[in-house]
Structure 1
């Protein structure tokens, strides 16, 4: 996939990295004049980071935000785990387990790309109307 622009950063696989990932995503959306995607994209990248922290066992993650088309943003987190994320039904009392449901609700599409040494979990958001 050839993107118009891509920003990426390697971060520790730690909860604190969600903030830095959100800053990267917001800066990219602002640069691309897609401010309407900044909030939902920040939420999605937080959930992607949270899933990597909780389930990958990786020391580092690679976060990227790209613009494959003028009104589409693709967010991705790469980690070294080969285990694919699986959506689960969280009960009202569960403190965890809603990340993929949130990603699915906010994104236009999401998925996982297996890599030789891990995986890439990605989500795409499309700008609606005039941005």
Structure 2
């Protein structure tokens, strides 16, 4: 089955977004988008944590959302800050659980909370955006 074409585009606040299929394989292009945005903004120190966070958020959306697509958003809300988000069509907010050492899953939001300065969920008329904000040192 052919993959739908994806396209990066600049959005408000300087930012980037990309619509991807709601599939586990979408984590890879989401990571590339985060790394590219961080490189453009000279926030390379946030790239790897941002890539790991977006992987976890994509994984949650793949497991719990509805419909066939998700939207990745990368924004720069201020100097030295990056906000990574995943928009899906489910209104159910994610719940950070206690990781069970006997299970492979269930650690994603704990990892997001550990790496991010802050994270949360924004309700939208058609679903939600789960976001995480990273703070680093801006390079001129």
Normalising to structure 2: TM-score of the pair? 0.88
CA root-mean-square deviation = 1.6
- 5 Å-filtered alignment, 1:69-80, equals 69-80=78-89
Bigger relative contact order, structure 1 or 2, given CA contacts below 8 A and separation 6+? 1
Matched, 1:28 2:37: yes
Shift of 1:130: 6.0
Runs (5+) with no aligned partner, structure 1: none
Shift of 1:3: 5.5
Runs (5+) with no aligned partner, structure 2: 1-10
Shift of 1:70: 1.6
User: Which residue of the partner structure matches residue 52 of structure 2?
Assistant: 43
Q: Is the 8 A contact 2:43 2:137 kept in 1?
A: no
Measure, in 2, the Cα distance between the counterparts of 1:129 and 1:6. Answer: 16
1:58 to 51, 62, 67: 67
Hey, which bits of structure 1, 4+ residues long, moved more than 6 A? none
Deviations 1:2-54, CA, capped at 9 Å, x for gaps = 96411000000110000000000000000000000000000000001000001
Between the two proteins, the alignment pairs up a number of residues equal to 130
